[in-house]
Amino acid sequence: MTGDSNVNFTVLHRTCKLVVLLCLLHISVTLVFYLRSFDIRLAFVQNQQSHKPKDLTTSKILKDVELTEQDSVQPRKVSGVVDVANVSEEIKILGNCPETSPLLVGPLRIEFSTPVNLDMVRNENPNVKTGGRFKPSNCIALQKVAIIIPFRNREEHLKFWLYYLHPILQRQQLDYGVYVINQDDNEVFNRAKLLNVGYAEALKEYDYGCFIFSDVDLIPMDDRNTYKCFSQPRHLSVSMDKFGFRLPYNQYFGGVSSMSKEQYLKINGFPNNYWGWGGEDDDIYNRLNIKGMSISRPSGPIGKCRMIRHERDAKNDPNPQRFDRIAHTRDTMQVDGINSLSYKVVRVEKEQLYTKISVDLGKPSQ
C-alpha cells in the first residue's frame, strides 16, 4: 500500500514537473512570437505614409563627401588644382545605388480629402533643392530623371502631386528634377506639345537620360512602381481607380509614362498638333509601335494609382480631328515632333519643390 502510494506520488510529481516545463516552454515561445510581431507591426506603422523617407539624412561618414544638388561626381577643385585623391575617395565611398532601393515600403494610402499645405511639404522634404531637384546623398543614382508635368490652372492637384511624389521619388533613390510646363496662352490646351517643351527645357538644365511624362492628377499607390526608364518605353499608370484598376484598352498609353532619351528621339518625340482633349497618347503609342518598340508595364497591383476627380477644363474640349490624326501617324511622325517644335518661354520660376516653365505654344496650324 505504502509502496503503491510512493510510486503514485513519484508519477504525479514527475507529471507536474513536466506540465510546469511545458507551460514555461509555451510561455517563452509565445513571448518570442509576440515580440517579433510587435517589431513587424511597428515597422508597418512607420512605413505607412511616412513622408520622411527613412535613412535619407546624411550619415556621418558622408558629411565629408556631400555633393551639391547640381554636381555629378566630378573632380573637386582645391585652389585651382583637381583633388584627385578626394575624387577617388568619393567614388569609393558613394558607389552606385542598388537596382532596387532598400527604402521602398510598398502599398501606400492615397487620399485627397484634406487640402495640402505646401509649407508643410517643403518642411517635410528638406533634401529637395530649389527647382525640385534631388539626388541621394549616400549613393550614386542609377538614372537621371526629368519629370515633366503638362499644366494649366490645376494648383490644388499640383499640391497633392508634390506632397505624395517627392517622398516616393526620394525613396526610389533617383537623381531627379520636377518640371511643371504651364501653358500660358489663350489657346486650346495641348498636352503632347507641352511634354515636348518639357523634354527640351529639362535638357537645357541637366544631362537627363530618362523622362517621365505625368499628368498632374495621377498618384501611384505603390512606391515599387519606380519612376525610371526601362529597356522598352514604359507605361506606369496601368491600373487607375477610375477604370476599376485595369487597363481601359491594351494600347492605352495615357496618364504616366517613361522613355529614355534614346527611345524618345527614335520616335521624333511627340506630336505638336493635337489641340484639345484626346488622341495624342494613342499617336505616341502608334509611333512606338511603328518603330518596333513594345510597351513595358508594372504588374497590375504595383501599377495601381489614384486620379484626383475633376470636371473637364475650359479650353480642353474633345478634339474632333483626333481620329483622323491617329490614322495618319506613320506619315506625320517624321515631320511633326521634336524636330519641328517651336514655342516661346514666357517665364521660368524656380520654386522650392518644382521648376515652373510658362510657355506660349503658338496657334494651331489649321
Give the contacts of 206 (CB within 8 A, at least 6 positions apart). 70, 144, 146, 177
In the residue annotation, 317 being an active-site residue is answered as: no
Q: What are the backbone dihedrals phi and psi of residue 240, each rounded to the nearest 5 degrees, phi first?
A: -90, 145
Q: Given the complex with ligand UDH, which of 151 and 274 has the nearer CB atom?
A: 151
Q: Kindly state whether residue 277 participates in binding ligand UDH, applying the rule CB under 6 A.
A: yes
Q: Which residues contact 351 (CB under 8 A, 6 or more apart)?
A: 130, 131, 132
Least separation, in Å, of the C-beta of 282 and ligand NGS? 5
Q: Smallest distance, Å, CB 175 to ligand NGS?
A: 30
Number of residues that bind ligand UDH (CB under 6 A): 16
Contact pick of 153, 231, 299, 339 for ligand UDH (by CB under 6 A): 153
- For the question of residue 175 being annotated catalytic, the response is no
Q: Say which of 310, 328, 330, 347 is annotated catalytic.
A: 310
**Catalytic pick from 51, 83, 241, 277?**
277
- 234 touches ligand UDH (CB under 6 A): no
CA neighbor of 73 nearest in space, from 120, 138, 22, 9: 138
Active-site pick, 185, 201, 281, 336: 281
217 touches ligand UDH by CB under 6 A: yes
The residue range among 19-27, 148-156, 245-253, 286-294 that interacts with ligand UDH, by the rule CB under 6 A, is: 148-156
By the 8 A CB rule, do 190 and 277 touch?
no
For residue 153, the partner it binds in ligand UDH, ligand NGS, none, with Cβ less than 5 to 8 A by kind, is ligand UDH
Instruction: Assess 324 for contact with ligand NGS (CB under 6 A).
Output: no
What is the distance of C-alpha 362 from the center of its chain? 31
What lies within 8 Å, CB to CB, of 350 at 6+ separation is: 130, 131
CB of 86 to ligand UDH, least distance (A): 43
Catalytic (active site) residue 307 = yes
Cβ atoms within 10 Å of 220's Cβ, excluding its own:
24
Give min distance, CB of 149 to ligand UDH, in A. 6
For the bound state, the minimum distance from the C-beta of residue 113 to ligand NGS, rounded and expressed in Å, comes to: 22
189 binds, among ligand NGS, ligand UDH, none (CB under 5 to 8 A by kind): ligand UDH
How many whole angstroms separate alpha carbon 203 and alpha carbon 183?
A: 19
In the complex with ligand UDH, the residue whose CB is nearer, 185 or 217, is 217
Q: Which of ligand NGS, ligand UDH, none does residue 311 bind to, with CB < 5 to 8 Å depending on kind?
A: ligand UDH
* Cell numbers describing residue 7: 510510486
Residues across the chain: 366
262 binds, among ligand UDH, ligand NGS, none (CB under 5 to 8 A by kind): none
Residue type present at position 311: E
Nearest to 253 by CA among 268, 240, 272, 266: 240
**Residue 191 contacts which entry, ligand UDH, ligand NGS, none (Cβ below 5-8 A, type-dependent):** ligand UDH
310 is catalytic: yes
Strands (E), the chain: 77-78, 81-82, 133-134, 144-151, 175-183, 210-214, 218-220, 234-235, 239-240, 256-260, 304-307, 344-350, 355-360
Q: Does 313 bind ligand UDH (CB under 6 A)?
A: yes
The answer to whether residues 285 and 241 touch, using CB atoms and an 8 Å cutoff, is no
The DSSP 8-state label assigned to residue 73 in this structure reads S
Residues at the site binding ligand UDH, with contacts judged by CB under 6 A: 149-154, 189, 191, 215-217, 277, 311-313, 316
Residues at the site binding ligand NGS, with contacts judged by CB under 6 A: 248, 254, 278-279, 281-282, 322-323, 326
Catalytic residues: 215, 217, 277, 280-281, 307, 310, 312
